[in-house]
Structure 1
Amino acid sequence: MQSTSDGILVLSNDFKVIHSNECFYEIWDIPEVLRFKNDALMLYEHCRNKLVDSSEFKSKIFFVEDLTRCYADCLKMTDGRIIEFVSSLLVVKSEIKGIVCSFRDITDRNKVYDLEKNLLEKKKVIQEAERYNKLKSQIFSTISHELKTPINIILASIQLIESYKDRTPKCKQCCPFHKYSNAMKQNSYRLIRLINNYIDINKIEANFFSLDLKNTNIIKIVEDITLSVVQYARSKEIELIFDTEIEEKVISFDVEKIERVMLNLLSNAIKFTKTGGTINVNISCNESKIKISVEDTGIGIPLCMQSRIFDTFTQVDQLYRRKAEGSGIGLALVKSFVEMHGGKVVVESSYGKGSIFTIELPIKLVKEKYVLENENRLIQSKIEKTMIEFSDIYALSAND
């Protein structure tokens, strides 16, 4: 009995201790003064004080009125432990001589059981959340695609009427459409931008998004994009400065995605920089990475928000929603696009003083096939892309 890991207590019919082992003493923390006495009632007084419900020791272990079979249960200790016990009759030559009780500390086992139960419950919650998230993504994707088709038709119709207007000088004076066409076109671009962002976010969440990597001079791409938005900065009397340490650096990246990253950062900088402010775009590099920074003298970002601004649908403050349009998706896409390139984006900001967004991209090349691109088509695509990304901060003039 001394070698077993269970606590053993053997009582006679007159409640004298016939036998007990060391493990029993340890489980119940029996003091030395009681260990050498064979009075079960003294042990009872000590042990019942160790229980959350002191009556359990008497009702479940001692004075069992009709113990005709093995009886098992659990006891809750005041120190938080769970003790499993089994009581059975001590029978010698068909004669009942007493009771044999064994005790086992199952606290750890009970914790494991509770942990497994909690894990199963959480797994069910996660599975349910994933199911709803998948359903949400499907709904977003369906709605986005259904909206995109009619908006493109509307925009194409506006452009068709504008082309007719350009060929008919007198139409400008006689057709009221001209007065509203720019606002219609701008808001169509805004809707296209919003829908594109929703579609891309859903593709990224579903791991159904891929990059079109090409070896390209990133300095030229960033410079061209920066220069393409100078007119937007001038409309708010903001100075936009481009500076680079190197004139050319060919790396592998998805041109369209990096253009959208830059347009988003520049759009935010212009939106939240007051008249007379400055925006600086700087490029530097070392042996392993390219750094592109967009620094503004705008309103800045509170420290408590800087860790959240790259989360989907997060905006710095509800107050700014009234000052500038936005869905809270743009920076989430910026982070996703940059990280898909193996890079990272960080922000440094002082509230009320301005912000610096820095993109780091790894310097690497990929094997690619040379494809001759139509330069005029690329220029036109870039102009429209800029108009889409800046559609929520720029009102097209009546002469454009």
Structure 2
Amino acid sequence: NYIEDIENKLKKINDKNQAIVLTGTFMYKSNKSHVKLKDIVNDIKTITDNPIYTNNYAYVFNGVIGGFVDIGEHQGSYVAKEICNILEGNKIEEGILPKSSGMYIFDYKQIYDYNIDILKMPKDSKLLNKPKYALLLPKPLKITVCIVFSLLILIVVYVVYKFIIEIKKSNKNKKLYERAKEREQLKTDFIVNMSHELRTPLNVILSTSKVAELKINTNNYDNKYLLGKLEQINKNSNRLLKLVNNLIDITKFEQGVYEINLENINIVEVVEDIVLASVDYATYKNIDLVFDTEEEEIITAIDKDKIERAILNLLSNAIKFTHKGGSIYVYIKREKDKVFISVEDNGMGIPKDKINEIFNRFYQVSDTLKKHEEGSGIGLCIVEEIVDLHGGKINVYSEVNKGSKFEIILPIYMVEENFKNLQIKDIQQIVKLEMSDVDTKEN
């Protein structure tokens, strides 16, 4: 048979219900050479879409669907046995024609390419080119199974996703609850502490005034004694005033109405004056208070009163929590367009897990510190707010029993309309007010 003749016949077939069965080999008319089996199959597929079957074992591996094919090895084995029977003189009942020695062999890929119902394949059929985990199902059913399986996967993924979301939500709610409990406890502690802060100076003021009144009524006093009692009253009045100022400022911060009035000023001089005015409070505890600067003048826009208050708060904390015989080092330097102000001590220090909490409102590091030193727990919060309003930030470096370092970083810039603070203030009175809770003289 010539391949050209077969191709011409195939071109005349218009019935899609017909199938093609390849059985033998073909030659080219031009040179009488044999056509490769794979080329035969490919040429036929370019002419027609009709399914191609075979009963030739060799074609199964060259792109046809397959079919019932004879296995030459099986036929040869059967014929050899029959010949042996003849030579041995055994009776041959069915002659030497071999029994059917074929089997159904199909190409898995071609079956699905031609959309053949795989469930109608004969039993014990052998499949070639079947992927290891491929499904033996009709294409429509296979698609359905894939869709169902995909939906199941999506459902599982959705359930897992919702489960994870719920877990995260639960954890978040738990954290919020714990945070709320912690905040509530802080407020409770603050109220208790604030009651103590209010009661202590009030009791001192009342008792001192009564004693002074008794002495005056009995004329059993001198000017020095009376001045001492008045000093106690003034000191504790300052403690109450500082506490009230802090509460008012915290309220202003929360409402967003706290204002700063900027003026271009030498910040080195401001800090130096505050430190010098605080030396007596450090000296009373035998603490060495040192001021140092890299430059004598750094002009920048600040609210002088607010910066003084922030530095005083850091100094008062350093004095309160530094043991007798310790030291406090205040240092200023400039780096490009920033000024760095650090207050460093070798006192009690702060635990690492508490450093991020100390700027929270009403937070105090430990009950132990509360017992030994006075404080409402809102001073550092005010310091951070003041620094933030100046466009700066504050860093803390601390180690328990080795000391702490608070570093304020402020931007250096000028304001166009230079606000002038015309109010004359006694810096000693300002320091006395802010240091009222660290003055260790007798009440």
TM-score (norm 1): 0.58
Match for residue 360 of structure 1? 409
Report the AA paired with residue 430 of structure 2. Answer: K
Preserved CA contact (<8 Å) 1:296 1:354? yes
- The structure carrying a bigger strand percent of its residues is 1
> Secondary structure in 1 aligned to 2:265?
strand
Preserved CA contact (<8 Å) 1:186 1:395? no
Of 296, 304, 307, 1:258 maps to 307
Match for residue 3 of structure 1? none
Deviation at 1:276, TM superposition (A): 1.5
| Larger Cα-atom Rg | 2
Spell out the pairing of 1:167-316 with structure 2 (5 A cutoff).
173=222, 178=227, 180-316=229-365
Deviation at 1:187, TM superposition (A): 2.2
1:386 aligns with 2:425: no
Q: Distance in 2 between matches of 1:284 and 1:349?
A: 20
Match for residue 136 of structure 2? 36
Preserved CA contact (<8 Å) 2:286 2:326? yes
Of 304, 314, 320, 2:369 maps to 320
Cα distance, 1:321–1:115 mapped onto 2, change above 3 Å:
same
Q: Distance in 2 between matches of 1:308 and 1:127?
A: 16
Deviation at 1:304, TM superposition (A): 2.4
Preserved CA contact (<8 Å) 1:232 1:394? yes
Q: How many residues align?
A: 303
Preserved CA contact (<8 Å) 1:183 1:395? no
Instruction: Give a deviation string over 1:297-353, Cα, whole Å, max 9, x none.
Output: 212222222222222222222111111111221112212211221211112222212
Q: Distance in 2 between matches of 1:303 and 1:121?
A: 28
Cα distance, 1:340–1:171 mapped onto 2, change above 3 Å:
farther
Instruction: Give a deviation string over 1:50-95, Cα, whole Å, max 9, x none.
Output: xxxxxxxxxxxxxxxxxxxxxxxxxxxxxxxxxx99xxxxxxxxxx
Q: Distance in 1 between matches of 2:290 and 2:174?
A: 51
Q: Distance in 2 between matches of 1:259 and 1:112?
A: 54
Preserved CA contact (<8 Å) 2:327 2:345? yes
Q: Distance in 2 between matches of 1:257 and 1:351?
A: 29
Q: Distance in 2 between matches of 1:121 and 1:350?
A: 35
Spell out the pairing of 1:136-147 with structure 2 (5 A cutoff).
none
> Secondary structure in 2 aligned to 1:306?
helix
TM-score (norm 2): 0.53
The Cα RMSD (Å) is 5.2
Cα distance, 1:292–1:115 mapped onto 2, change above 3 Å:
same
Q: Distance in 1 between matches of 2:351 and 2:152?
A: 59
Preserved CA contact (<8 Å) 1:183 1:396? no
Cα distance, 1:174–1:278 mapped onto 2, change above 3 Å:
closer
Report the AA paired with residue 210 of structure 1. Answer: E
Q: Distance in 2 between matches of 1:260 and 1:253?
A: 12
Report the AA paired with residue 428 of structure 2. Answer: I
Match for residue 144 of structure 1? none
Cα distance, 1:174–1:294 mapped onto 2, change above 3 Å:
closer
Cα distance, 1:104–1:318 mapped onto 2, change above 3 Å:
closer
Deviation at 1:289, TM superposition (A): 0.6
Report the AA paired with residue 387 of structure 1. Answer: K
Cα distance, 1:213–1:174 mapped onto 2, change above 3 Å:
closer
Q: Distance in 1 between matches of 2:157 and 2:402?
A: 55
Match for residue 53 of structure 1? none
Deviation at 1:291, TM superposition (A): 0.8
- The structure carrying a bigger helix percent of its residues is 2
Comparing 350-359 and 218-227, the one that deviates more = 350-359
Preserved CA contact (<8 Å) 1:241 1:279? yes
Report the AA paired with residue 136 of structure 2. Answer: F
Match for residue 19 of structure 2? none
Comparing 175-184 and 241-250, the one that deviates more = 175-184
Cα distance, 1:223–1:174 mapped onto 2, change above 3 Å:
closer
> Secondary structure in 2 aligned to 1:346?
strand
Preserved CA contact (<8 Å) 2:262 2:419? no
Q: Distance in 2 between matches of 1:251 and 1:263?
A: 19
Q: Distance in 2 between matches of 1:123 and 1:273?
A: 39
Preserved CA contact (<8 Å) 1:182 1:397? no
Cα distance, 1:201–1:122 mapped onto 2, change above 3 Å:
farther
Match for residue 380 of structure 2? 331
Report the AA paired with residue 383 of structure 2. Answer: V
Instruction: Give a deviation string over 1:167-205, Cα, whole Å, max 9, x none.
Output: xxx996289865543333222222222222222223223
Report the AA paired with residue 439 of structure 2. Answer: Y
Cα distance, 1:241–1:120 mapped onto 2, change above 3 Å:
closer
Deviation at 1:269, TM superposition (A): 0.8
Cα distance, 1:274–1:125 mapped onto 2, change above 3 Å:
closer
Spell out the pairing of 1:147-158 with structure 2 (5 A cutoff).
none
> Secondary structure in 1 aligned to 2:356?
coil
Instruction: Give a deviation string over 1:270-293, Cα, whole Å, max 9, x none.
Output: 111111211111111122111111
Preserved CA contact (<8 Å) 2:354 2:365? yes
